[in-house]
A and B are shown apart, each in its own frame.
Chain A
Amino acid sequence: MKMRVLALFALMGIATTGFAAAPGKAQQIAEGEKLYKYWCSGCHGPGIGQNGAPYLPGETALRAKYKGAVPGLLHERTDLTPEFVKLFVRQGITIMPFFRKTEIDDQQFDAIAAYLTRKSKTK
C-alpha cells in the first residue's frame, strides 16, 4: 500500500521527502540536523543573544530582514533550496563569514541542505 501511495505521489510530481523520507534520505537529514546544530545554531538556533537580547544574532538578522514574511529560524523555513543555502554557506553574508571545506565538506553541506529543505514546498 505504501509503495502505491509513493508511486501515486511520484506520478503527481509531489515530492515525498517532507512526508516520509526514504531511509537514506532520513539518515542524511538526521546527519544534517546534527551538523546544523554544530555549525549553525550558535547564531541561527533558538536562544537569547548578547546581554539578554531576545534572539541569537542569526534570528535577529533574519527577523529584521524579512520582517515576519518567513520564520526567523532557518530550520523552520519552508522556502529554502539547496542552492540558496549554499550561497550563504560558501559566500557568507554581512558579518557572517563563509565556511571552508575542512569545516563543512560537500557531503556534509548536502546533509545540512537536506535538513534545511526537508519542509520545503519548492524542490
Chain B
Amino acid sequence: MATLPAGVSAADFNAAITKFKAAVGEKHVFTSDEDVALYRDAYSPMWGTPQELLASAAVAPDTVEQVQAIVRAANEHKIPLYPISTGKNVGYGGSAPNLHGSVVLDLKRMNRILEVDDRRGFALVEPGVAYFDLYRHIQEKKLKVWIDCPDPGWGSLIGNSLDHGVGYTFGAFRDHFGSHCGMEVVLPNGEIMRTGMGALPGSKTWQDYKYGFGPYVDGLFGQGNFGIVTKMGFWLMPEPEAYQSGYVSVPKRHDIIALVDHVNYLEHIGLIGQPNYSSPLGRTQRNEPDLRALVGKAGGPSDEELDRFGAAKGIPSWEVELQFYGPAKTVAANWEYARERIGASIPGSTFRDGHSYRFPMTDEQKAAVEHKVAVGIPAMSIFSIGARSELNPSPTDGHLWFAPIIPKTGEAILESQRAFAKVYQEFGLNVGGIFQTPATWIYRAFVMIVGMPVSRSNKEINAKSMAAFKRVVEVAAEHGWAEYRSPPAFADLVADSYSYNDHALRRFNEQLKDAVDPNGIIAAGRGGIWPRHLRGGRKA
C-alpha cells in the first residue's frame, strides 16, 4: 500500500495515478513497494523511522508534453510532485522528497543532449543528462570544449546547478548555476515558459545572453519550487593548451591570512583556477602521537604551540595547490609570478611544481590523471573518501553535508575552525578540527564543509549527527555564517537562519509560491518554501 500524501484521498491518488499512466505509459509509473523504495534517500538520517521522508509513487516522463500532462493531473487531484533529475544528490537528499508522500517526478528518461556549440561555448541539455553523458558526447564529436564537473560524474547538469552545485576549474564555470544560460520551465499551471532570450520566438541567442529583458527570474528555480526545469543551457570552457599546478607551503598558523589574500588576488584577476588548501601539519597527526596529544589537550592548543611544534619538526602549517590553465607559455609565467609574489611576502614560504598536462590527452594520459575533475574529466573517485579501505574498515552508510559559507579570508578560516570544532567535539564527531581547510569551489566564498555520519542500522549515530547538525547551524548563524545547501531534513532549519527583518525573504518567496502554485503541487518544502496549506508543519 502506497504512502499517501497528507490530505489526499485514496480515490484522488488513484485517479491521478491512472492519468499519469495514460500520459507516460504504465511501465513508467512506479507504485509497488519494491520500486518506490528505490526513491528513498540512501543517506537519510531518518532511515527506518516514522520521520523518514518517503515517496508515495514515482512517474518518469520522456517529453516535456508528458511533464505538462502530469502537472495538470497533479493540479486536478492536488497531488504533491517532487522533481528529480538523475536523483544522485546523495548527502543532500538523493531522490527522496522534502514532503513525505510526494510523487517523485523522475526526469532521468529525459536525457537528450540538444546542442553543443564549441565556437560559442555552450550546451543545451535535458534534466536526465549526466556529466558523463555530455563528456562522452564532446569526446566523440571531438569538440574543443570542457565541462566543469562536480565530484561524482553521474549527477545531472540541470539537477546539480539547480541545487547550486559546484565544480573544479575556473571560478566562472565552477558555479554551475551561475554558468547556466537560459531555461525552459513547466510552470505549476502546466504552461511552458522559456527564460532570458528564450522568451523571444525564434531567438538566436538563448544560450548566449542570460537576462533577456525585464526581471531575471531564473534564480527562482534554483533550490526553489516554482516550476519544473526541462531544458537548460550551460556555458562551456574552451579546451586550454596546457595545465600546470604548483604547491605553496607557509610555516605558521597565521600565515594563512596573507596566503589567502595572495591566492584571492591570483584567482580574481584570472591567473588561476580552483586553489586547493590543506594542512601538512594536520596530515602528520596520524604518525605523531605528540601532536595528537597537543591537539587533544583541554581547551585545545594555542596557535603559538602549534607553530613551535611545526618549526621543531620542519612541517609547514598550510599548503595550497595553485592550478594554472592556458597557453603553455603563460601558464609557466603565471606560476613564476605567483612564486615571486608570495615568496617576497611570506617568510619561510616554499614552492614545488605539481602536475603538468597538455591537451588534448590520450586515453592513457587521462587514466593517469590523479584529480580528473580538475581537467574537466568526470569521475567517481571522490567515493574513495568514505568507502571501505584498509584505513577505514567499517565505513558509514553515508553522510549529511553540513556546508556553511564563510568569508574568503584566512581570519575566517581560523575563527570557524575553532567555533565548529567545539561543537563537533561536544558531540563526539571526528570531523572538522583546527587543521580543517575550506572547500574552494565557490568563487567568492569558502565552504567549511564536513560530512556527518549516517547509518542504516545504528539510530544512535543518526541521532547524534542530527543533534550536532542542528547545533552547528545555530553556531554558524551566531557568527554570521549559514549553509548554501542542505539535506531535506534541515531545509527548514537552514531557511530559518536567513531571518533578516522577520523572515522577509521567506515571506516574499511564499507570497510568490501562493501566486504561482496555489495548490502547492511542486516540491513543497524545497528551499524551506511551503505552500500555504502546509506552513503549519514547518520543522523550524
- B373 vs chain A, min Cβ distance (A): 10
A42 & B153 in contact (Cβ 8 Å cutoff): yes
Residue of A nearest to B27 (CB): A105
In the complex, whether A64 has a CB less than 8 A from a CB of chain B is yes
- B284 vs chain A, min Cβ distance (A): 17
In the complex, whether B231 has a CB less than 8 A from a CB of chain A is no
In the complex, whether B384 has a CB less than 8 A from a CB of chain A is yes
B383 & A95 in contact (Cβ 8 Å cutoff): yes
In the complex, whether B132 has a CB less than 8 A from a CB of chain A is yes
Write 17 A-B pairs (CB below 8 A) sorted by A numbering: A42-B152, A42-B153, A43-B380, A47-B367, A48-B381, A50-B370, A56-B381, A61-B388, A61-B389, A64-B392, A65-B388, A94-B388, A95-B383, A95-B399, A97-B88, A97-B398, A103-B108
Residues on A with beta carbons closer than 8 Å to the beta carbon of B386: 95
B387 & A95 in contact (Cβ 8 Å cutoff): yes
B381 & A49 in contact (Cβ 8 Å cutoff): yes
In the complex, whether B393 has a CB less than 8 A from a CB of chain A is yes
- A14 vs chain B, min Cβ distance (A): 34
- A96 vs chain B, min Cβ distance (A): 8
Given A50-B384, A64-B389, A94-B397: A42 in contact with B132 (beta carbons within 8 A): yes
Total interface residues in chain A, CB < 8 Å:
29
B108 & A98 in contact (Cβ 8 Å cutoff): no
In the complex, whether A57 has a CB less than 8 A from a CB of chain B is yes
Give the interface residue-count category, chain B: 35 or more
In the complex, whether B170 has a CB less than 8 A from a CB of chain A is no
Residues on B with beta carbons closer than 8 Å to the beta carbon of A65: 388
Residue of B nearest to A52 (CB): B370
In the complex, whether B426 has a CB less than 8 A from a CB of chain A is no
B395 & A95 in contact (Cβ 8 Å cutoff): yes
Given A47-B367, A52-B370, A57-B381: A100 in contact with B387 (beta carbons within 8 A): no
A48 & B367 in contact (Cβ 8 Å cutoff): yes
In the complex, whether B43 has a CB less than 8 A from a CB of chain A is yes
B38 & A61 in contact (Cβ 8 Å cutoff): no
Which one of A56, A61, A95, A103 has the greatest number of beta carbons of chain B within 10 Å?
A95
Given A52-B370, A97-B43: A42 in contact with B388 (beta carbons within 8 A): no
A57 & B384 in contact (Cβ 8 Å cutoff): yes
